[in-house]
Structure 1
């Protein structure tokens, strides 16, 4: 479901310019999620704040950071106030979690069935997350499963969130 005014627990999807944005677009394309316009995801928190995974570690920032940017706010249909609170509470546990571009390669290896023993365990154990993994994990910790397609936890790109929630 799309929103114009963000609520706590919503997911913000936006673009990243420059080389980083192009690399993320390529990573998403390799993962079968298309070559479209959303390269970043963040979680809306109470008090006009957000949690986002960035190089250097996940951080809380003012929501105004994206004023003037094209942001699409989405969430699953029927998300309750109690679930929104639980998602935001879960988010607080991830401040400082390191970022890893290597997760795009791991997601691509999984998609192409590259036989890498221990890949799933490795991704789960490193506690490194790209932005969309972080958002998905906050939802999972709150008991809200976004994807029902049997994907491994953590195998989520910003475009996968877009395709699931914005159509």
Structure 2
């Protein structure tokens, strides 16, 4: 229920270190990450809820989904966070493995909610009188712990007594969850600097908010407030809702063009090439080789490679699903769908290109057991893309 993230809580100029980061390569889809903030309101939240933690997030494979005041519901990569004490992060996991199907449902729900707006007012109601919440029970706005609890509830798991109004402390005390040990480690100076610097993802979050706000105004001007039929009608809130609204109202004069223009003008499409610009080593064999082997022995190289290939493996399915769905939508001839598909195409192409570099590196040492397994996994990723999106492989 963190009302924070107005700037990263670890960005204070009054603290010089040390810092600690997550063992992000050990995270599993569905893991809940609790974080201690350092702003005044973070202390108030911790005191009022009786917990050391003021923020909650959910890991969905390759990325974290969270609700923040600045960006609403958005994603960021796990190594973009650093804390001041090893206890300031805590990773929670279901005591009993729910299986892939349930995990997929809750992770997909988190992705679906991306673009939802943040509600300070509703976060404050968590510790307020029950009767004050009644008028907001059906709200689709989010705050951090509500996001996590509702994603689990969507998958049939009630972590807390009230998924609509709960705190990080309530999640921490859930009888369904256990603390995962050894998930936080000291950060090197380079890792800490990377985690604390202004992230391109922050600008993408702002662009997304800009687009969502503009899209909601356009839809309102066209008299569109909800999507779905009478049995499942919901207020347009998320990015997915916006796409559905464009489709359901595709014959509305001017809507397609206005929405496409808003998407382009907001900067929302700028993140397609973000990783290529930020991490050029992942797309160049020589740069990749130098980065992976720098100051590392065989075990460290293997661990770094596993981190790279697992990152790709965890996002492969949602990337492919988005690409295929977006490709299918092109038959409707909407400019909005063309712009949206450019995102899915660009992100899947980047995943493919990164994996090709991993294969090229690992094949040189495939006689070493670990490298052979990495080579097999990375080739399996490429084969899946070639099977379902052959045009990506030949572009």
How does the TM-score come out when normalised to structure 1? 0.78
- The answer to whether the aligner puts 1:153 opposite 2:163 as a matched pair is yes
Deviations 1:86-143 (A, max 9, x none): 1111111111212222224322223xx5x44xx32x3233322210000001111122
1:58 to 73, 84, 88: 73
Structure possessing the higher radius of gyration over alpha carbons: 2
Distance (whole Å) between structure 1 residues aligned to residue 113 and residue 77 of structure 2: 16
Deviations 1:13-48 (A, max 9, x none): 11111123123224xx1xxx31x311110000112x
* 8 Å contact kept, 2:73–2:117: yes
* 8 Å contact kept, 1:83–1:144: no
Q: Which has the higher strand share?
A: 1
Residue 149 of structure 2 aligns with which residue?
Answer: 136
* 8 Å contact kept, 1:76–1:146: no
> Superposition pairs for residues 99-138 of structure 1, below 5 Å?
99-110=118-129, 115-116=131-132, 119-120=133-134, 122-138=135-151
* 8 Å contact kept, 1:11–1:42: yes
Q: SS of the residue aligned with 2:152?
A: helix
* 8 Å contact kept, 1:51–1:58: yes
Q: Which has the higher helix share?
A: 2
Distance (whole Å) between structure 2 residues aligned to residue 75 and residue 124 of structure 1: 27
* 8 Å contact kept, 1:53–1:130: yes
1:163 to 165, 173, 179: 173
Distance (whole Å) between structure 2 residues aligned to residue 105 and residue 20 of structure 1: 11
State the shift of 1:67 in Å.
4.7
Distance (whole Å) between structure 1 residues aligned to residue 59 and residue 110 of structure 2: 10
How does the TM-score come out when normalised to structure 2? 0.35
Deviations 1:131-161 (A, max 9, x none): 00000011111222213xxx33312100111
State the shift of 1:74 in Å.
0.6
Residue 89 of structure 2 aligns with which residue?
Answer: 71
Residue 40 of structure 1 aligns with which residue?
Answer: 55
Distance (whole Å) between structure 2 residues aligned to residue 71 and residue 107 of structure 1: 22
Distance (whole Å) between structure 2 residues aligned to residue 162 and residue 88 of structure 1: 19
Q: SS of the residue aligned with 1:125?
A: coil
Alignment gaps of 5+ in structure 1: none
Task: Count the aligned residue pairs.
Answer: 149
Q: SS of the residue aligned with 1:42?
A: strand
Alignment gaps of 5+ in structure 2: 1-22, 180-395
Distance (whole Å) between structure 1 residues aligned to residue 79 and residue 45 of structure 2: 23
Distance (whole Å) between structure 2 residues aligned to residue 53 and residue 105 of structure 1: 14
